[in-house]
Amino acid sequence: MIFVVMGVSGSGKTTIGSLLAERLNLTFYDADDFHPEANVVKMRGGQALEDEDRMDWLHELGLQIKEWGKGDGAVLACSALKENYRYLLAPEPAPKITWVFLEGSRELLMERLRGRKGHYMPPELLDSQLKTLERPSYGLHVNVDNTPDAIVDEILKKTEDMKSLSEFGLIGMGVMGRSLALNMAEKGVKVSIYNRHVAGKEENVAKNIVKDNPSVSDMVGFDDLPAFVQSLERPRKILLMILAGAPVDQQIEALLPFLEEGDVIIDGGNSFYKDTTRRTKLLQERGIHFVGTGISGGEEGARKGPSMMPGGSQKGYEAIARYLNLISAPDKNGMPCTAYIGPDGAGHFIKMVHNSIEYAEMQVLAEAYYYLRYCLQTPPEEISRIFTGWQTGGLGSYLLEITIDILQKKEDGELLLDKILDQAAQKGTGGWSVGAALEHGVPYGPLTEAVSARSLSSFKKARVEAAKLYRHVAGNTEGDKSILIKRLTDAYQATRIINHEVGFNLMRQVSDDFEWNLDLSEIARIWTNGCIIRSELMEELVAVYATEKGLLTAPSVVNRMTEYQAGFAATVATGLQHGFALPVMASALNYFLGAITADSSANLIQAQRDYFGAHTYKRKDRGADESFHTEWKPL
């Protein structure tokens, strides 16, 4: 049993914490006793601590909590004012913590502080603490306007009452929903899970998941919706992991009669971001918080730690932040790969862009594989070794890692890949991104081509017939293979940079158009682990977008793209000359050349538009606000 009694100075943490420890026969600790001397000196001088002052202190307390959890437990009095402070107190793996939030009016707190003698926290710092405080939506909330014994009685009663309720609810027990539920339950969060009841098809699904996982104690299964909702503590926090579109609206309608003001619905599916914006506003009118949350990582990520992209209601996010932090993947610094993205449908929007980058990254790997195997006549085993060199040589990514595994998988002594039908499926998010790019006037060529390549692959019968008509057989090229592979490596690196440039440009433009204030560096950070497009390049983008507006203009990228340019162009030219389609590589090269061309052919486009439609044009030698029209037809 670990209890953390939290609140601002004057709330009585030490008094209540020590009395609670006595009643529970646990050891009491005061977090103030763990402050380094420099922090104590600063507070005695009336200076508020900065976040950097608290980091070592919080990490040390987190280590202590782990140790106390190995024994009988403990009660800790700690201010824990911010959510990220509380996260650091309970890093993985950590014992389950019962948070006790002591709250009271400013007047009462100030009165107590002024009557306190010999404490180093001066009353003047109370307002600073109240401003810093981020009220937790979870745990026990107890008003301190009572006697210490009465407050502890209330804590003990609420603790007993909470044992029968779940902290979190999850609807939809497909692969992702089941994996997320197990992830959360194993983190010490009591979870209620629900799946619809369809006679003869879907019966006792949630209950069977509980039955099949006897080692997971903090999970309760339901196939009755009212009973599921009643099993949750208030405010209720319910994650939907169901098909996007109409099923989400239908599930919301089914839930509403059982919900109350302040409850939170989280949509974790691949919903269209404009639908999320609509639902956020609709539910806000009912007093319900809606948080559209993109989730990436597949089944393994959901089970072990995905990247999570919540948007919509800020208050709703604050109510669930602790749970998202618990189950998401950690970045290289141990911080959770999740953060509040922005209002409306911002969370689902960046997940949509994530997926379009994913399409392009998968396609460029497919193009590299196909070029190596059929243009350079390279056996799959050798391609696997080449890709392994890329993976360990600075080009590492999750998608490259799984591609290496695929190239090594055999069935009956033959490469399994050769037995898979060449028709690529898609679920719609890639196409939505293309539509958004057109709507907001953002060039999206390589990522559009990735979507188109999947669509073209679906016309298998037509492709086979056309290949016979044209007698199309792509040929192999001659030349120094090591040079050709080096050029391909340059083309692969350059294309990946362009893929990310294009996707992040769309996020920036939509953020400006909708005034979402998206933090591109933070988005890159939460994509460094857990998600499908995690990579060494993404780690670099965290720093690039912290200081640079665009990827292609970042000094380090300028140097690399200059180095890659010749090999990039040569690879595309060689592939096309020998009959190999390279849609993403070729489009990325065209994008790059267009982006670095100071004087383009667009002046002729403007002249043509003015010729047939009198659309006017600007001139280089005149003012930027002046427009011109010419009678172009010769007299």
Active site residues: 351, 358
337 near 331, Cβ under 8 Å? yes
- List, in sequence order, every residue forming a beta bridge with 264; answer none if it has no partner: 237, 289
Crossing angle (nearest 10°) for helices 148-162 and 13-24: 60
Which residues, in sequence order, are CB contacts of 115 under 8 Å at separation 6+?
Answer: none
176 near 242, Cβ under 8 Å? no
Query: Virtual CA dihedral for 255, 260, 264, 270, nearest 10 degrees?
Result: 20
User: What is the rounded radius of gyration, in angstroms, for the C-alpha atoms of the chain?
Assistant: 29
CA atoms within 13 A on the CB side of 191: 30
Q: Is the dihedral of CA 509, 512, 516, 518 positive or negative?
A: positive
φ, ψ (nearest 5 deg) of residue 451: -65, -45
Which residues, in sequence order, are CB contacts of 74 under 8 Å at separation 6+?
Answer: 1, 2, 3, 21, 26, 27, 28, 29, 65, 68
Distance CA 54, CA 618 (A): 57
Rounded to the nearest angstrom, the gap between the alpha carbon of residue 450 and the centroid of all alpha carbons in its chain is: 22
What Å distances lie between residue 524 and 192, 245, 463, 545, CA to CA? 32, 27, 38, 8
Q: Which helix (H) or strand (E) holds 59?
A: helix 51-70
The torsion region of residue 630 among left (phi > 0), alpha (psi -120 to 50) and beta comes to beta
- What are the start-end ranges of the H helices in 257-331? 273-284, 298-304, 314-327
Distance CA 282, CA 269 (A): 18
Euclidean distance between the first and the last CA atom of the chain, given in angstroms as a whole number:
93
**DSSP class per residue in 99-128:** EEEEE--HHHHHHHHHT--S-SS-GGGHHH
Tokens linked to 556: 């380090």
Nearest to 590 by CA among 468, 460, 523, 502: 502
Q: Is the dihedral of CA 7, 8, 14, 16 positive or negative?
A: negative
- What are the start-end ranges of the H helices in 548-601? 555-577, 583-595
Q: Which amino acid is at 409?
A: K
Which residues, in sequence order, are CB contacts of 349 under 8 Å at separation 6+?
Answer: 273, 311, 436, 507, 510
Which residues, in sequence order, are CB contacts of 97 under 8 Å at separation 6+?
Answer: 2, 3, 4, 65, 89, 90, 188
Which stretches of 363-518 are assigned E, i.e. beta strand?
A: 410-411, 414-415
